[in-house]
Amino acid sequence: NNNECLSLQSQQKNLEGYVGFASLPNQVYRKSVKRGFEFTLMVVGESGLGKSTLINSLFLTDLYSAEYPGPSHRIKKTVQVEQSKVLIKEGGVQLLLTIVDTPGFGDAVDNSNCWQPIIDHIDSKFEDYLNSESRVNRRQMPDSRIHCCLYFIAPSGHGLKPLDIEFMKRLHEKVNVIPLIAKADTLTPEECQQFKKQIMREIQEHKIKIYEFPETDDEEENRLVKKIKDKLPLAVVGSNTIIEVNSKRVRGRQYPWGVAEVENSDHCDFTILRDMLIRTHMQDLKDVTNNVHYENYRSRKLAAVTYNGVDNNRAKGQLCTKSPLAQMEEERREHVTKMKKMEMEMEQVFEMKVKEKVQKLKDSEAELQRRHEQMKKNLEAQHKELEEKRRVFEEERANWEVQQRLEQQKLEASRYDRHSPSLFSRSDCLALTNASIKDPTSCTNTTTVGFTVSVSGA
């Protein structure tokens, strides 16, 4: 229908003057500032790896303070998942930052399944978003999905621990995982280099998909991205204290042998992490969460809901792009066809049976009719026979009566004869009447022709 589908073919047009839609980016900018931003960051790692300190260093704030103690200060028996929300403002831009802590992770003696509460938490945030997205009445949908997970690797210098591998394998398809080497100031540059190589090797070996920086069309940007990629995983140092170094106030860790500066790129990769996480790729982390991780969750969830009860083989064959509603629509249509077929079949059977019965009835009617006709015929025949008989009889009787009369006349005539002669002789009269009696078939009608012979003197 030409009316309804917009032609997706588009043509290039040149503008002969300034129109003004180049201001669209400004309009978008303006609106986004008005709306404000959200970001949820999860930190995972054994206690004592400096997670809280790193967060404080990243966001230059005392997220964790005496009032709001960090996870390490809270003794946990099992893995907990806790959220802290803060609102921070900078340059007119407002950011609602949620930090998700996982105290107790990896701290127990038996850490089997210690990732489960974390997975459950991530899924529950997806679930919340899915539900609010699917409501009939949708308001502003708060996005509390986890946009990034910083995974802290202990600086052993050797390689990944089984727990590290297990965790990353289980979470890499649910969230953007950025592995970090914690407390990197315990490694020399060479040790760090080795450690990094080993870790990346193991990550590839186990097919772990850590967060990837997107390719852009920009040459410059791509070069930067390549440089970062070579340094993965980033080795970080965090600090809550400001120290004066060379009359500069810097965040750092004071040692007898010197100060490890957090923001010194020769000392650690902190600035790379900060720039990447906050200044350049924060939006991309959100987009990947929304377009990839969330969509995976959603499609799996909806497939389960849709095909719940539908023939599984069929469902697998077409894990299609339909929505649950479209699936129901299709099932409805199939059902309609099935019903039509059923109706047709029933109709056919019905018709056939009716035809049979009607035929039987017809046959029996015909039979009865026939018999009736037969009987009627018989009766008519009888009737005719009777008529004939009567006719014969009547004729016979009539003849006989005539004869009787004649006899009577003869008798009278003979008596008369004694008194007077007749014109006709007796034998003449007899001959006349005899003729008619002897040959009644000469008569053309059934009534006997009788001569009344008047034997008067005339």
Nearer to other proteins, 111 or 327 (CB): 327
The binder of other proteins chosen from 375, 423, 431, 449 (CB under 8 A):
375
Q: By rule CB under 8 A, what count of residues binds other proteins? A: 133
User: Rounded CA gap, 51 and 73, in Å?
Assistant: 12
The binder of other proteins chosen from 72, 76, 80, 95 (CB under 8 A):
95
Q: 36: phi > 0 → left, psi -120 to 50 → alpha, else beta; which?
A: left
The binder of other proteins chosen from 357, 377, 405, 438 (CB under 8 A):
357
3-state secondary structure of 334: helix
- The reply on whether position 265 binds other proteins by CB under 8 A is no
- In DSSP notation, 385-422 reads HHHHHHHHHHHHHHHHHHHHHHHHHHHHHHHHHTT---
368 backbone dihedrals φ, ψ, rounded to 5°: -60, -40
User: Rounded CA gap, 127 and 244, in Å?
Assistant: 48
Helix (H) or strand (E) holding 40: strand 37-44
User: Rounded CA gap, 453 and 346, in Å?
Assistant: 91
Nearer to other proteins, 205 or 387 (CB): 387
Minimal distance in Å, beta carbon 234 to other proteins? 16
- In DSSP notation, 142-167 reads ------EEEEEEP--SS---HHHHHH
Which part of the chain contacts other proteins (CB under 8 A), choosing from 42-50, 173-181, 191-199, 279-287?
A: 279-287
**Could you give the string, one character per residue 180-209, with x where binding to other proteins holds by CB under 8 A and - elsewhere?**
------------------------------
- The reply on whether position 283 binds other proteins by CB under 8 A is yes
- In DSSP notation, 342-385 reads HHHHHHHHHHHHHHHHHHHHHHHHHHHHHHHHHHHHHHHHHHHH
**Between residue 419 and residue 448, which ones bind other proteins under the rule CB under 8 A?**
none
The binder of other proteins chosen from 60, 344, 423, 449 (CB under 8 A):
60
Minimal distance in Å, beta carbon 210 to other proteins? 21
Which part of the chain contacts other proteins (CB under 8 A), choosing from 148-156, 167-175, 407-415, 449-457?
A: 407-415
The binder of other proteins chosen from 21, 255, 317, 420 (CB under 8 A):
21
Beta strand 234-235 with 177-181 is: parallel
The binder of other proteins chosen from 411, 423, 435, 449 (CB under 8 A):
411
Helix (H) or strand (E) holding 100: strand 93-101
Minimal distance in Å, beta carbon 74 to other proteins? 18
**Could you give the string, one character per residue 308-347, with x where binding to other proteins holds by CB under 8 A and - elsewhere?**
xx---------xxxxxxxx-x--xx--x---x--xx--x-
Nearer to other proteins, 107 or 417 (CB): 417
The binder of other proteins chosen from 241, 265, 404, 446 (CB under 8 A):
404
The binder of other proteins chosen from 125, 267, 274, 293 (CB under 8 A):
274
The binder of other proteins chosen from 217, 219, 230, 439 (CB under 8 A):
217
User: Rounded CA gap, 54 and 273, in Å?
Assistant: 11
**Between residue 108 and residue 127, which ones bind other proteins under the rule CB under 8 A?**
127
3-state secondary structure of 43: strand
- CA torsion sign for 255, 257, 258, 264 is negative
β-pair partners for 152: 180
The binder of other proteins chosen from 44, 50, 51, 59 (CB under 8 A):
59
